Structure 1
Amino acid sequence: MAFEELLDKVGGLGKFQMLQMTLILPSLMVVVCHSLLENFTAAVPGHRCWVHILDNATVSDNDTGILSPDVLLRISIPLDSNLKPEKCRRFLHPQWQLLHLNGTFPNMTDLDTEPCVDGWVYDHNLFSSTIVTEWDLVCDQQSQKPLIQSLVMVGTLMGGLIYGHLSDRWLVESSRWLIITNKPDEGLKELKIVAHRNGMKNIEETLNLEGLRATMQEELETTQTKTTMFDLFRTPNLRKRTCLLFFVRFANSISFFGIIINLQHFGSNIFLFQVIFGVLTLSVRCLALYPMNKVGRRPIQMLSMFLVGLSILINIFVPQDMQTLRLILASVGISCVAASQTSFSVHQSELTPTIVRAKAAGLDLLANRCGAALAPLLMALVVYLPTLPWIIYGVCPIIAVPVLLLLPETKNLPLPDTIQDVENNKKFSRKASEKDFYIKVTKF
């Protein structure tokens, strides 16, 4: 609670903080765009087997007479259960007898077929080129696509671990970081800069080094010993919170990336879907703050994660041709997962003591990236059961709902400053602490 008092003195959520959030937003948007790029760079266009009689450039009209491409396609490619050309097989020999059936459809299982030994022909109307068309990641090689997508996400995970650590060199301007690393003079200087930018006048009269040391005394004493990531697991209560938070974030990420990188599963117009999901995500993340502050962090997470899983599981039973209903269910899912992510971010910060909060945020990022890496890899399971990946996407957030019951609610409670605060289950309302804060201010 000590640092919150200092923030209140320098203007709280003022112009300085607003400017920081505005400046960081573009960089976050770029990161999100990279994650969503897989919908387009790894899109699977329509395809069929390459056949000599139809696709060989040296075959002229004189060789085939007056037969149209549709006719040649009919005698070369069998039809699937939806009466559309098969994507992964072709007739071993042209089936000329099919031209005399007058619209009837024979039993294709009696005709000899073979895999696409000469490659595929892709529909380039929507995508001129993707990694799927470049490397033929279809049919027997379709499991390679989710593997490549997963490796991309693993790359972001490794980059976060490496460059996240290196970025500490550029965080020295944070007054909080300066204070907890025993540089109170520099921290005080940064706080005064924040106060001036927030329009706070005569701040030197109430904000000085003695007052800073008095306010942050407990925190400064705690930070004499350097903390590590292992401190999140040394004590029982904090270890419990850390493990539960890791699982909840992991389950949340699996469902989020399961929806967001598989837009083709919901219909063909993925450009429209991307816009709709983007608008919904942005809107819900902002709107979720109001019920979260009224009802609490935990209830909003539980409700939203249950609805995420439910919408995904219901969508499994909706036919592919009912694209409007599939899109509505997917929109409900992406909206709820956005709400749960917003409430989780606040909840996670309020459950973690100040002294290890940055390390807990790093572990949270690790859980998020692990879920992001696993989500596309699960699509390789379609070779065993087409609905299996979506069952996992739906079940994971539902399992996380009872897990959230094991975490305490943090609405109207102050941030824990030390690990001991967590172990002692320190609880007192923010309203009560605000009264204490005003008493402390009058002493300066």
Structure 2
Amino acid sequence: MVFEELLDQAGGLGRSQILQMVYLLAGIVLLYPHILLENFTAAIPGHRCWVHILDNDTVSANDRGTLSPEALLRISIPQDSNLRPEKCRRFLHPQWQLLHLNGTFPNMSEPDTEPCVDGWVYDQSTFPSTIVTEWDLVCESQPLKPVAQFLFMAGSLVGGLIYGWLSDRFGRKFVLRCCFLQLAVSGTCAALAPNFLLYCSLRLLSGFAVTAVLSNTFILISEWTVPRFQALVVSLIFSAYSLGQILLGAVAFGFQDWRTLQLTLSIPSFAFFVLSSNWIMQQVFNIAVASHKCLLLFLLLKFVRSIMQKELAAAQIRTSVFDVLQKPKLRARIFYLSFIRLSILLNYFGLALNLQHLGSNIFLFQVLFGTASLTARYVALLTLNYVGRRLSQILFMFTMGLSIIVTIFVPQEMQALCVSLAVLGVSACAATTTSSSIHQNELIPTVFRATAAGINLMAGWFGAALAPLLMTLMVYSSQLPWIIYGMTPILASFIVLLLPETRNRPLPDTIEDVENE
């Protein structure tokens, strides 16, 4: 292509491209934590019912007698099967007979209990405040927590469709600036939200902006990079995702109040909005100043002429989605790739959004997940070159699903083993994402590659939106969501067998190339 030739003549990967790449990658690192933010802002601390005799500040020591807080808790809150205080029930009346540990009460009936009608008492040792403690999203209201996560993911799905069209219509720079501003405003306002409904609405708007920034950043970096550096650039983009995970764990450890954390991660988007005002328009000028070559003007004119010729050709030959749906092989490939991407992100966000199910030190888990996924992405590149596209994906996806299935049968006391299996699953998921992205580009013809990538992206975000919603099934069975998370990538690994191997094979340029294979 002439524009690639123009970039190559200007130095390939010069100073201006590097500066632009650093700016966009920094934006990804600071933006990606918003996707996993509710691991910390919506953490569920230990809690129990509020009881008058123990938690009322107006009750004097004389009223309580000489009883310790543990004794008062025992007569006020029933115990669960693990001999721990119930989280959602309390005795209707104090059960004084429970203080006689050595006594026997053969005819004693089951004491009457009631819900936490006066609210809850929360353990604030790790999280001083979360949206859960702010709006009491526990017990009967606990399903509202994954609904809030679902709305953010749903916003990402819809935002990808809307802003994708707007980017093609008005340009990526304009949409990118608007999305940075939208994320900054909605994220900042979410930190000040007075009620849960408004918070969910603002998180929905944040989800709209996140997908558009990620997709436009990926395209902008790719368009301003010559082909010989494309593999390096894709690896750097995926690495920025992992660095964003690590950053989130570190910042959340420093700012454990949910409003402060939300505000800290939202304000930098204002700076990126301001910095994005003129940087794209200056890129061609910077390249011209840096190259000092008279050939540049000739190549630029040649590039404009080439673009005009391609637009005329595109006006005569257009490939629509409906045309593709009539081609059996290409239609099957798009369906298979979409299901694979859905299963990958369903599994990934099933783990990444539910760190509390692994243990209490979720700050460390977040950093471990980011570090493991960063390493796994480069391992995937090596595996693809030596093992092949299909076998690599099958191994990674099977490992990803199996690690979650095995975790179900590991006792909670073996926390180190549970965390190790989860880290293995996240690493396999990161490797699968890299492998699948490369395989997809090699399976779809050039004339339909961008549209197919959009369909694949929407399928992935549908899986991401479904992941938090599946946690509401814990009302029926605590293991059911994890079984679905684990089985989906295992089933998808068999779908990979239906796709052809593409290692060391030429890429298809037209739909006929796919249909004639």
TM-score tier (shorter): 0.7 to 0.9
In structure 2, the partner of 1:149 is: 149
Select the residue among 300, 316, 330 that pairs with 1:224.
316
Task: Kindly state the Cα deviation for residue 416 of structure 1 after the two structures are TM-superposed.
Answer: 2.3
Q: Which amino acid aligns with 1:339?
A: A
The 2-side partners of 1:344 and 1:408 are apart by: 13
Q: 2:421 and 2:498 mapped to 1: Cα distance?
A: 29
Map 1:22-421; keep pairs closer than 5 Å: 22-101=22-101, 110-168=110-168, 169-171=170-172, 221=313, 224-421=316-513
Cα distance in 2, alignment partners of residues 424 and 213 from structure 1: 33
1:223 touches 1:355 (CA, 8 Å); kept in 2?
Answer: no
Given that residues 77 and 89 in structure 2 are in contact (C-alpha distance below 8 angstroms), is that contact kept between their aligned partners in structure 1? yes
Shift of 1:342: 0.5
Any conservation in 2 of the 1:351–1:410 contact (CA below 8 Å)?
yes
Cα distance, 1:135 vs structure 2: 2.2
| Structure 1 unmatched runs, 5+ | 179-189, 426-444
Could you tell me how far 1:57 is from its partner in structure 2? 2.0
Instruction: Give the Cα–Cα distance (whole angstroms) in 2 for the partners of residues 358 and 88 of structure 1.
Output: 51
The 10-residue stretch of structure 1 (271-280 or 60-69) with the greater mean CA deviation from structure 2: 60-69
Looking at structure 1, the residues matched to 461 and 21 of structure 2 have their Cα atoms a distance apart, in angstroms, of 23
Q: CA deviation at 1:78?
A: 1.2
Q: 1:12 to 1:341 in 2, by over 3 A?
A: farther
Q: Which amino acid aligns with 2:92?
A: L
Q: Classify the secondary structure of the residue corresponding to 2:121.
A: strand
Contact 1:171-1:177 at 8 Å conserved across structures: no
Residue 118 of structure 1 aligns with an amino acid whose one-letter code is D
In 2: Cα distance, 1:378 partner to 1:290 partner: 34
Greater mean deviation of Cα atoms: 345-354 or 366-375:
345-354
Query: 1:437 corresponds to which residue?
Result: none
- SS of the equivalent of 1:268 reads coil
The Cα shift of 1:87 comes to 0.6
Q: In structure 1, the residue corresponding to 2:98 is in which secondary structure?
A: helix
What do the CA deviations read for 1:110-134 (whole angstroms, capped 9, x no partner)? 2322221222111112112222112
1:232 to partner: Cα distance: 4.0
Contact kept? 2:54, 2:72, Cα under 8 Å? yes
- CA distance in 2 between counterparts of 1:299 and 1:216 reads 43
How far has the Cα of 1:361 moved from its partner? 1.8
Change (3 A) 1:381 1:259: same
Alpha-carbon deviation of 1:22?
Answer: 3.3
Describe the superposition over 1:63-109 as per-residue Cα deviations: whole angstroms up to 9, x where unpaired: 11222211111111111111111111111211111212159999998
C-alpha separation between the residues in 1 aligned to 2:221 and 2:374? 30
State which drifts further: 353-362 or 166-175.
Answer: 166-175
Q: CA deviation at 1:198?
A: 9.9
* Local SS of the residue matching 1:405: helix
- The 10-residue stretch of structure 1 (384-393 or 156-165) with the greater mean CA deviation from structure 2: 156-165
Separation in 2, partners of 1:110, 1:226 = 74
Q: Contact between 1:77 and 1:85, CA under 8 Å: does it hold in 2?
A: yes
**Aligned residues of 1:146 and 1:376 also touching (Cα < 8 A):** yes
> Shift of residue 306 of structure 1?
0.2
Equivalent position of 2:198 in the other structure: none
Quick one: which amino acid aligns to residue 408 of structure 1? Answer: P
Task: Tell whether the 8 Å contact from 2:21 to 2:221 is kept in structure 1 after alignment.
Answer: no
Q: What TM-score, normalized to structure 2?
A: 0.71
Per-residue CA deviation, residues 418-444 of structure 1 (Å, 9 max, x unaligned), is 22222223xxxxxxxxxxxxxxxxxxx
Moved more, 288-297 or 2-11: 2-11
What is the DSSP-based 3-state SS (H/G/I as helix, E as strand, rest coil) of the residue aligned with 2:344?
Answer: helix
Q: Is the 8 A contact 2:10 2:287 kept in 1?
A: yes
3-state SS of paired residue (1:237): helix
SS in 2 for 1:90: strand
Aligned residues: 413
Highest Rg: 1 or 2?
A: 1
CA distance in 2 between partners of 1:11 and 1:324 (Å): 53
Return the letter of the residue paired with 1:279: T
Q: CA RMSD in A?
A: 3.6
Q: Give 2:59's aligned amino acid.
A: V
**Residues of 2 paired with 1:381 and 1:38: CA distance?**
19
CA distance in 2, matches of 1:49, 1:396: 38
CA positional deviation for 1:291:
1.4
Give the drift of 1:299: 1.4
Work out the CA distance in 2 between the residues paired with 1:18 and 1:211. Answer: 22
Q: Output the CA distance in 2 between the equivalents of 1:421 and 1:306.
A: 31
Q: Measured at CA, do residues 109 and 287 of structure 1 come closer, stay the same or move farther in structure 2, by a change above 3 Å?
A: farther
Residue equivalent to 1:424: 516
Preserved contact between residue 346 and residue 467 of structure 2 (Cα < 8 Å): yes
- Deviation, 1:51, is 0.9
Q: Unpaired runs of 5+ in structure 2? A: 174-218, 225-281
In structure 2, distance between residues paired with 1:14 and 1:109: 79
Match of 1:181 in 2: none
User: 1:175·1:191 contact (CA, 8 Å) conserved in 2?
Assistant: no
User: Could you tell me which residue of structure 1 aligns to residue 268 of structure 2?
Assistant: none
State the one-letter code of the partner of 1:43: A
**C-alpha contact (below 8 Å) 1:39/1:261 kept by paired residues:** yes
Contact 2:6 2:299 (C-alpha < 8 Å) held by counterparts: no
CA shift, 1:154, in A, is 0.6
Structure-1 separation of matches of 2:364 and 2:47: 22
Of 143-152 and 204-213, the range deviating more from structure 2: 204-213
Q: 1:23 to 1:349 in 2, by over 3 A?
A: farther
Q: Between 349-358 and 230-239, report the one with greater CA deviation.
A: 230-239
Cα contact 1:263–1:270 (8 A) shared by 2: yes
Does the CA-based 8 Å contact 2:132-2:138 persist in structure 1? Answer: yes
Distance change >3 Å, CA 156–CA 204, structure 1 → 2: closer
CA offsets, 1:260-293, max 9 Å, x none?
A: 0000010000001001101111221123211112
Counterpart code for 1:153: M
